[in-house]
Chain A
Amino acid sequence: MGGKAFQMSKGERIFDIFLYIALGLIMIVTLYPFLNVLAISFNESTDTVRGGIYIWPRAWTLENYQRIFSYTGLIQGFKISVLRTITGTLLGLLSSSMLAFTLSRPEFRARKFVSYFLALTMYFSGGMVPMYILMRDLNLIGTFWIYILPGAVSAFNVFVIRSFMDGLPFALQESAKLDGANDFVIFYKIILPLCKPVLATIALFLAVGQWNEWFSTYLYNGNKPHLTTLQYELMKVLSSTNQGSGMVNANDMAQQMAQISPESIKMAITIVVTVPILVVYPFLQKYFVGGMTLGAVKA
């Protein structure tokens, strides 16, 4: 087999070279913006204005980071973002694994009903306005819980975990049952530990979703400074300078950055918002690739 590689025809070799160049370019195009952001975030603010920073800072400094960490809104946002990520992920894991377990039990009487009841939610939604009215009627607007409760049960996640559970040997459950274990004990003691790979995938999906979500802050909690998230704070800083370069809104943030170019601040905050996820995802790669495949089989 290995020897075949040396017998490639000329056409095949050109094809190979083309492949390497094309995929290499794709990789550069994907990575460049991140490196650019990183370089600017470490570059001296007054120097950044001159332009021409690509992937390496011209004048190294940590000042931008020192400045943004003295901005209380950002620290506040960081706390809320971490809190919602942890709470949302745990609750999402609990709900989807429990539902998946009941759906994986062939003798469960309500199985079909629950299954269809969940599946339908993947194809329609009430829409933004009815959802807003519901949140208002439930008095969730202006509370932390609006980040957690509405999306706590996700049909897609349930089906992914359930397809994984369907692949586990059923004999394990049977023997536990004969030993007198009830369904909850079977779930907790036998099934959950076996589901670690798929739970890792779902945890990643949930955590990324929570961390990256900004719209519910914008729509429901924008005027509650103690409840804004990191993404929302970033959005505020970015939009203050996106429109018309150099025109910074005359708000307190602008004053805080009196001597610092908004560009460097923007990029430093972007890095702070992005890094936590980028550090985690490569290690979970083998899990989420498998998880996506399971989801596709069921969907």
Chain B
Amino acid sequence: MDVKALTENGVTANESVTPNPPTKRNSGFWKSVLQQKYLYLMSLPFVIWVFIFSYVPLWGWLMAFQNYKPKKSFTEQKWVGLDNFKELFHDERFYLVLRNTLAMSLLGLIFGFVVPILFAVMLNELRGNVFKRTVQTVSYLPHFVSWVVVGGIVYKTLSIDGGIVNDLLIWLNVIDEPIQFMAKAKMFWGVLTVADLWKETGWNAIIYLAAITGIDKELYEAAKVDGAGRIKQMFNITLPGIRTTITVLLIMSIGHLVGIGFEKQFQLSNNMVTDYSEVLDMYALKYGIQIARFSYGTAISMFTSVVSVILLLVANGVMKKVTKESIM
């Protein structure tokens, strides 16, 4: 056992010193596979796994160009070219859904970006005390509950009988009659954005807080000597100090603009607000799966994925030009 392991090691050492001549490349490849057999055994099963569950669905995109019928095999399907996309782009509902998707993701991008940064900067100003730690722990809490629970909480908080928001507004004499927030379609985007902020601000601030910790403390000392107050330091040292983190996260979120998911919309919406709550993924769910128009649904999914990747690449390119920072 020992001898074998030793020789194996010997070969490894040899190989790294004198690379194989090109003619023997093939045998060298197999030899290295044999030596690294455990590494291959440990990764290959999961690579196949990823292939099945992440790459095979891409092959399913071909369905978008077919009139897919579940009972038939792949070769028996009828090819229809771009018909599904033509129908999609002629559907008025599609533009409504696209508008909702973009509106909610833009709101999410702006507020979901600015508020956590502000929160992190404010937290950072409280230097290491119990209050700071308590605020932090509490702020992570909503991140750990599901959107099902948050949906219930939002309905309860905004309800007309006993919801705290209406009670407070009436108590403060802002309104006379309770407002049915969840039944007002035009309020849906706002309600959703606030709910999202409530859930994720603390969590999203973690990265910024970590980035702030990495800023050189001497910069603050120097600023103090120069007579800069804390607010000045915030704007001139803290915020510029986390610029890289901000840029990278901005690129990532732009890539997710159209693929924002639908969990929150699904849990917060009801029949009265669908014109403002339906997003691309819910549209795909409704038309693609629930009424079994698989090809049409695939066309929607494909549109979403392709636009996401394009947005990501564009955002990455623009940021590279403007700020010299990128993720790829």
Q: List 19 A-B contacts (CB under 8 A).
A: A11-B229, A31-B138, A32-B164, A98-B43, A103-B43, A110-B43, A129-B301, A130-B57, A130-B298, A182-B38, A183-B39, A212-B144, A231-B148, A234-B149, A238-B155, A270-B149, A278-B144, A289-B206, A293-B207
**Distance A42 CA – B210 CA, assembled complex (angstroms):** 39
Beta-carbon contact of A293 and B206 below 8 Å: yes
With A128-B284, A130-B301 known, 19 other A-B pairs at CB within 8 A are A15-B229, A23-B122, A23-B131, A98-B46, A101-B42, A117-B50, A127-B302, A129-B294, A129-B298, A130-B57, A130-B58, A133-B294, A134-B53, A153-B50, A182-B5, A183-B42, A266-B156, A278-B141, A296-B210
B95 within 8 A of A: no
Which of A31, A54, A103, A150 contacts B53, CB < 8 Å? A150
B235 within 8 A of A: no
- Chain B residues 106 to 160 lying within 8 A of chain A, measured CB to CB, are 119, 122-123, 125-126, 131, 134-142, 144-149, 151-153, 155-157, 159-160
Beta-carbon contact of A274 and B149 below 8 Å: yes
Indicate with 1 or 0, residue by residue over A279-294, a CB within 8 angstroms of chain B CB atoms.
Answer: 0011001000100110
Knowing A95-B46, A180-B2, A231-B148, the reply to whether A136 touches B70 (Cβ < 8 A) is: yes
A94 → B minimal CB distance (Å): 9
- Chain B residues 213 to 251 lying within 8 A of chain A, measured CB to CB, are 229-231, 245, 248-249
Beta-carbon contact of A27 and B255 below 8 Å: no
Beta-carbon contact of B327 and A299 below 8 Å: yes
**A: number of interface residues (CB 8 Å):** 96
Beta-carbon contact of B139 and A27 below 8 Å: yes
Knowing A20-B131, A107-B36, the reply to whether A128 touches B289 (Cβ < 8 A) is: yes
CB within 8 Å of A: which residues of B?
A: 1-2, 5-6, 9, 12, 16, 29, 32-33, 36, 38-43, 46-47, 49-50, 52-61, 63, 68, 70, 119, 122-123, 125-126, 131, 134-142, 144-149, 151-153, 155-157, 159-162, 164, 182, 198, 202, 206-207, 209-211, 229-231, 245, 248-249, 252, 255, 259, 263, 266-267, 270-271, 281, 284-285, 288-289, 294, 297-298, 300-302, 304-305, 308-309, 312, 327
Beta-carbon contact of B38 and A184 below 8 Å: yes
Knowing A129-B294, A231-B146, the reply to whether A99 touches B210 (Cβ < 8 A) is: no
Beta-carbon contact of B39 and A102 below 8 Å: yes
For B6, list chain A residues within 8 Å (CB): 180
CB within 8 Å of B: which residues of A?
A: 9, 11-12, 15-16, 19-20, 22-24, 26-27, 29-34, 36-37, 40, 51-54, 95, 98-99, 101-103, 105, 107-110, 114, 117-118, 121, 123-134, 136, 149-153, 155, 177-178, 180-184, 187, 208, 211-215, 219, 231, 234-235, 238, 242-243, 245, 266-267, 270, 273-274, 277-278, 281-282, 285, 289, 292-293, 296, 299
Which of B36, B57, B140 contacts A285, CB < 8 Å? B140
For A134, list chain B residues within 8 Å (CB): 52-53, 56-57, 60
**Distance A187 CA – B157 CA, assembled complex (angstroms):** 50
Beta-carbon contact of B164 and A54 below 8 Å: yes
**Distance A121 CA – B156 CA, assembled complex (angstroms):** 38
Beta-carbon contact of A270 and B60 below 8 Å: no
Beta-carbon contact of B160 and A245 below 8 Å: yes
Knowing A215-B263, A242-B155, the reply to whether A125 touches B47 (Cβ < 8 A) is: no
**Distance A130 CA – B136 CA, assembled complex (angstroms):** 40
Knowing A34-B141, A129-B63, A134-B60, the reply to whether A180 touches B230 (Cβ < 8 A) is: no
A225 → B minimal CB distance (Å): 18
**Distance A181 CA – B36 CA, assembled complex (angstroms):** 13
For A178, list chain B residues within 8 Å (CB): 9
Beta-carbon contact of B152 and A238 below 8 Å: yes
**Distance A102 CA – B44 CA, assembled complex (angstroms):** 10
Beta-carbon contact of A299 and B252 below 8 Å: yes
For A266, list chain B residues within 8 Å (CB): 152, 156
